[in-house]
Structure 1
Amino acid sequence: MKPMKTVLAGVLTAFVSTGAFAGVESQDPIKLTTHDWTGQIITTTIMGEVLKKAGYNVEYVQADYIAQFAGLKTGDLHVAMEIWETTGRDAMDEAFATGKVVNMGETGMEAIEEWWYPAYMEEVCPGLPDWKALNDCAQEFSTPETEPLGRYLGGPVTWGGYDDERVEALGMDFEVVHAGTDAALFAELESAYQRKAPIVLWLYSPHWAPAKYKGSFVKFPAYTPECYNDPAWGSNPDAAYDCGKPTGPIWKVSWEGVEKKWPGAAKAIKAFTVSNADMGDMVGKVDLDGAKIEDVVAEWLKANEAEWSTWTK
């Protein structure tokens, strides 16, 4: 038989390792989704590491941005830390309507996702940033593959955003070409910017790119919900999406069972907040400086312990 002291030490270790002393409600893993852009993985890792420090078992699950809602409805996935008002609103509203997915509040970040061009393109298309001027200059943005149509470099298809629909609804002489990955999108921007080559592409904030590169977002007709939902609204009476994208908060959402099964974790998720400035800085350290995500997150946690430590209290 093992000495009683050894047995008790083993039991104590087991309790600490399972988080029992942290007062967690269940050691079943909380499944946080990760996607294909750096900022979202950073956001999710911050939340996951805070939950781990509180004693929860956390699992990161790679999932498609829009398709993840199927898993959130069934409870196969538990938490999505970044649903952008700009591109995720329709999927989010549909999921909320089922009662199986709930809103966990704002992340503190405000989203912009829109067509963007470098400032040097105003020399060949002086009417910018107006979208009509962009359309008049479409050939200036063409490539051998799209000529005579202009080329718009969109984000990965899984991001949504209705760019193809927007081009059709506004009668734009552009072809939408989707980047395969987030990294490919910004690699092409860097290449074009260095050569002062023509380019108009999907850019978003919070991100380091709007700070690094001089340029502007294209000004489309202002977004309203009717633009997306009522074809009669706007300049094209036969088509929706004849306007720009919405702007607004980046949301946190979860399977409705999270709050029942892990109420302490749900409280922490609701309390989570990070600023656009902090996120842009962290994404830049990863994408531009080559830092590892886990190191950048650890640095943020160390610098902001007074803030995040309150999330789990």
Structure 2
Amino acid sequence: MRIFTFSAAAVAGLSIAGAALAAAESQEPIKLTMHDWTGQLVTTTLMGKVLSKAGYNVEYVQADYIAQFAGLKTGDLHVAMEIWETTGREAMDEATATGKVVNMGETGMIAIEEWWYPAYMEEVCPGLPDWKALNDCASEFATPETAPMGRYLGGPVTWGGFDDERVEALGMDFEVVHAGTDAALFAELESAYQRKAPIVLWIYAPHWAPTKYEGSFVKFPEYSAECYNDPSVGMNTSMAYDCGKPTGPIWKVASSTVAETWPGAAKAIEAFSVNNDDMGDMVAAVDLDGKSVDEVTDAWLAANEAAWSTWIAD
């Protein structure tokens, strides 16, 4: 695991007018996990800087999205700031059921993750956004590597999401090809969009992409928990995942050791909240405007001191 240390001095310029700070109970490092998409880096850096301002020792640790739960259970990792209802709910519920991981509440953001296509594809694939229409014209989405199957460009494998399972369960004439990174996913979208080339891929919100590009999410059979857990439910009575992805909150989780060792930090993590619009703007500032995560998070903290100062007030 790669560890990134963030000292309280780095946020020394951020004052907290009129707020009494809770004293840091321990100088043992609080380890916050970092993943491979910009929004999660922003969310985690915001939390880390606020905790650092309150006097806590913060470390950023690179970890896989789903695999991180093993470290959270053992206490080797402490805080994960973005568990998406769309892709992480099962792993989160399994971990919290052990009592070793605690759901720290919603982040304030609502998650959408689904197959998405540019509007110009409706000219060559009538009937979209219905998934059956997508399947009928799978060849329009083929690449030399996947032909005659259509290609669906998924997120990095570590994101989960059950796309391979869904393609099989719904009998879709598509091959799932996973992008190596978040940046590669959107670089390919930009290239295809400029050329009006065929593409269907994983898009998520909060993010700048659904605003920048004209297009639509594919409409699959409606999600239900039973569809994911009971193969007899849905169109395919022998396989699960024959439906769309869930939508819902983005959650925060922590090792149970956090409240025991750093109760003030635990309260701050529970209080953390940022909305979709603010997050979309920050991600766009990094990905489109070339600003650093530090620049963007410092600007948000400076503009929203009245909000975040309450997270760490005694």
TM-score normalised per structure 1: 0.93
Counterpart mapping for 1:136-151 below 5 A:
136-151=136-151
Partner Cα distance (2:307, 2:93) in 1 = 30
Q: Give the residue type in structure 2 aligned to 1:95.
A: A
Describe the superposition over 1:92-112 as per-residue Cα deviations: whole angstroms up to 9, x where unpaired. 011011110010000000000
Aligned to 1:161: 161
Task: Give 1:226-265 correspondences, 5 Å limit.
Answer: 226-265=226-265
Task: Name the CA distance, whole Å, in 2 between partners of 1:23 and 1:191.
Answer: 50
- Alignment identity in percent? 81
Q: Which residue of 2 aligns with 1:275?
A: 275
Distance in 2 separating the partners of 1:297 and 1:42: 7
Letter in 2 for 1:270: E
Number of residue equivalences? 294
**Structure 1 segments (4+ residues) deviating >4 Å:** none
The residue aligned with 2:56 is 56
Partner in structure 2 of residue 215 of structure 1: 215
Amino acid at match of 1:28: E
Equivalent residue, structure 2, for 1:201: 201
Deviation at 1:22, TM superposition (A): 5.5
Partner of 2:82: 82
Q: 1 CA distance for matches of 2:23 and 2:175?
A: 55
Structure 1 residues not aligned, in runs of 5+: 1-15
Instruction: Give how far 1:119 is off.
Output: 0.1
Distance between the aligned counterparts of 1:93 and 1:147, measured in 2? 39
Q: Please name the residue that 2:291 is paired with.
A: 291
Give the superposition deviation at 1:157.
0.2
1:86 is paired with a residue of what secondary structure? coil
How many angstroms apart in 1 are the aligned matches of 2:96 and 2:251?
13
Q: Which residue of 2 aligns with 1:5?
A: none
Following the alignment from structure 1 to structure 2, what is the Cα–Cα distance between the partners of residues 137 and 218?
13
Q: Report the Cα distance in structure 1 between the residues aligned to 2:282 and 2:58, rounded to whole angstroms.
A: 22
- Output the CA distance in 2 between the equivalents of 1:27 and 1:101: 21
Q: Deviations over 1:108-152 (max 9, x none)?
A: 000000000000000011100000000001000001111110000
TM-score if structure 2 supplies the norm length?
A: 0.93
Q: Secondary structure at the match of 1:235?
A: coil
Separation in structure 2 between the aligned mates of residue 94 and residue 124 of structure 1, nearest angstrom: 43
Q: In 1, are the aligned partners of 2:22 and 2:264 still within 8 Å (CA)?
A: no
